Amino acid sequence: MKKLLLAATLTLAATGLAQAAGDPVAGQQKAAVCAACHGANGVSMVPNWPNLAGQHASYLTNQTIDIRDGRRSVPEMVGIVDNLTDQDIMDISAFYARQPANLGQADPALAERGRDLYRAGDIAKGIPACTACHMPNGGGNGPAAFPALSGQHPTYTINQLQAFRDGRRHNDPNAMMRMIAEKMTDAEMEAVASYMYGLHGTNR
C-alpha cells in the first residue's frame, strides 16, 4: 500500500502536460476522425474499443500522447494519431471530457464478487481496493490522471487488465497496474469489470 501511495504522489508530479488547457470546441472538429471507432459523442458501439465520453481530459491526453510516441502499443491507432500535436490531443481530450459518460449495468451473477474486489480488494492475494485510485463511484482522479472506470465496456476493461498482467501494456506509472493485474485471475477480472460497468460516476 505504501508503494501505491508513493506511486500516486509521483504521478501527480508528472502530469503537468495533461493539466494544460484544451479547447473543447476546437476538439469537436478534430475528433471527427475518432467517431468511427469511439462514437460521435465518445460512446463506442464496439465493446473492444473504449468509451471516451466523460473521461478525464488529463488521462485521455496522457494516453493518446503515449500511443503517438510509442510508449503504449495500440495497433488500431497507428496512423490516426501520428500527426496530432500536443495541442490537438488536448483539444480532443477536452471535448470528450465534456460529453455525458456512458451508463452501464452490471451482470447480477458477477456483481457481488466484483463489488468486493472493487471496494476491498483481496488482502490475502495482495490486491488493493480499486477505490484507492478510481474512487468509490468509479469516477477516477483527474489531477492524478487516474481514469474513470464507470460505464466502461467490460470487454475493453478485461483486455486492458490482461495486457497489464502479460506485460503487453506497460505505460502505468511505477508498474502500479502490472503489479495488481498479475495477481488477478481471469474470473476476477471479469467480475470487477462487470461491476465497474454498472457504476455511475458523478464526480467528473
In a domain, 58, yes or no: yes
- pLDDT surpasses 50 at 10: no
On the question of pLDDT at 28 being above 50, the answer is yes
Q: What is the pLDDT of residue 9?
A: 44
Residues 149, 195: Cα–Cα separation, whole Å:
10
For residue 12, what pLDDT is reported? 45
Q: Is residue 102 part of a domain?
A: no
pLDDT value of position 6: 44
pLDDT recorded at residue 204: 46
CATH number for position 127: 1.10.760.10
Which residue is associated with the grid cell 469537436? 28
Whether residues 51 and 123 share a domain: the answer is no
Range of the domain at 167: 108-198
Query: What CA–CA distances, in Å, run from 75 to 72, 87, 115, 163?
Result: 10, 23, 32, 13
- Residues 92, 114 within the same domain: no
- pTM, entire model: 0.89
How many domains is the chain partitioned into structurally?
Answer: 2
b (16+ CB within 10 A) / e for 110-132: bbebbbbbbeebeeeeebbbbee
Query: Rounded to whole angstroms, how far apart are CA atoms 94 and 54?
Result: 10
Widest pairwise Cα distance in the chain? 49
Let me know whether 121 and 151 are in one domain. yes
pLDDT reported for residue 177: 98
Task: Assign 200 a pLDDT band (cuts: 50, 70, 90).
Answer: confident
- Digit-coded pLDDT (tens) for 119-153: 999 999 999 999 999 999 999 999 999 999 999 99
pLDDT band, residue 19 (cuts 50/70/90): low
Q: Percent of the chain at pLDDT above 70?
A: 89
State whether 29 and 93 are in the same domain. yes
Distance CA(123)–CA(140), nearest Å, equals: 22
Of 47, 74, 97, which residue sits at a domain end?
Answer: 97
* Helix 86-97 vs helix 57-68: crossing angle, to nearest 10: 140
pLDDT digits (tens, 9 = 90+) for 80-94: 999 999 999 999 999
Q: Is 103 inside any structural domain?
A: no
